[in-house]
Amino acid sequence: MKKGLLLLCLLLAGIPYVQACDICGCGAGSSYLGILPDFTTRIIGIRYRYNSVLTHVAPEGIASYLTASERYHTAELWGGWTFGNKVRLMASVPLGYDTRRSQEENDSKTGLGDINIQGFYHLLSRRSTLGGSKLLVQDLWIGGGVKLPTGKYEPLDMDESGKSANLFQLGTGSFDFLLTGMYDIRLQDAGLNLSASYKYNTANHYDYDYGNKWNGNAQLYYKFRIKQQATVAPNLGMSYERSAQDLNEGYSVYTSGGYALYGTLGAELQYRKIALGGNWQPVLDQNLAAGVVKAQNRMMLHLSLMF
């Protein structure tokens, strides 16, 4: 129980999630997904995520003839299965379509990304009343998992000069490990959703090790109930992501690492066993890859079925 309370404190402190190119949005993907739909036993769905960045940015964030626009389109098949009341297994299988456009060249790649598998334990599930009539609901899930090197990593797409970040990849080429926590507290129909995750990356076969990353999200939401059959839950919050510098053959990569702060604005619609949702995430502040990378606004949409 002490470990659970410690994790809860970390969540409240806003510890973020860590992945290879999460912040910039490359093949490793962004960690932020928004508020997951309510489900008790099984769920399967499709997610679409769009991220974009500017690379080879000149000092002071000014674009030059070398500046490239990289766009990452990711379609994910994802699902979850709850065993009993305490254990939940979740997995996602991404398919990426990435493009890079500059004055010098245009490039694109399509393929399978890195598959993610995580298990969770329902550490806290509490229902109580305040004032004798208002329902207070609390849930805390903790878990961990692994990211498999199923996405293609191409060493030739890394800038050997070290003047640009190593982002244009479908996958990291490495086994990586995750720790995640999700806490939700709701009074009647108004709630706060907190999530935090840390990702430990290992070196791939080319001795490139993406920096470990952490991520934290906080979302306020309100559930509007429609004739006891549907709910609409608009949400508003923030997402913060930070990454350590990458290592190439044991040496720090100057144009890597950093942080990004996003606002989040979204909504979730649930009608019986069907859930539809999405969010828009404008950049509020950033300092990425020693200034040579500039993140753009991003978005996510999903359609899910519970059964």
Residues above pLDDT 90, as percent of the chain: 74
List, in sequence order, every beta strand (DSSP E) within the chain.
42-55, 68-83, 87-101, 106-112, 116-130, 134-147, 176-187, 190-201, 208-209, 213-222, 224-226, 230-243, 247-248, 251-252, 258-271, 274-281, 283-288, 294-295, 298-306
Strands 208-209 and 68-83: unpaired
Residues 153-157: what's their mean pLDDT? 92
Residues 222-227: what's their mean pLDDT? 93
Residue type, 176: D
Residues 6-16: what's their mean pLDDT? 36
Q: Which residues of 199-210 are buried (b: 16+ CB within 10 A; e: fewer)?
A: bebebbeeebbb
For the cut 60, the answer to whether the pLDDT of residue 245 exceeds it is yes
Alpha helices (H) in 194-270, listed in sequence order:
none
For the cut 50, the answer to whether the pLDDT of residue 5 exceeds it is no
For the ranges 3-12, 66-75, 111-120, 244-253, the lowest mean pLDDT is seen at: 3-12
Q: How many domains does the chain have?
A: 1
For the cut 70, the answer to whether the pLDDT of residue 231 exceeds it is yes
CATH number of the domain at 26, please. Answer: 2.40.128.130
Range of the domain at 279: 2-306
Instruction: Tell me what pLDDT residue 7 has.
Output: 38
Q: What is the pLDDT of residues 175-215, one digit of tens each?
A: 999 999 999 999 999 999 999 999 999 999 999 999 999 99
Q: State the DSSP H helix or E strand holding residue 5, giving kind and residue range, or none if neither.
A: helix 2-13
Instruction: Tell me what pLDDT residue 72 has.
Output: 95
Q: Which residues contact 154 (CB under 8 A, 6 or more apart)?
A: 109, 169
* Cα gap 52→31, rounded to integer Å: 14
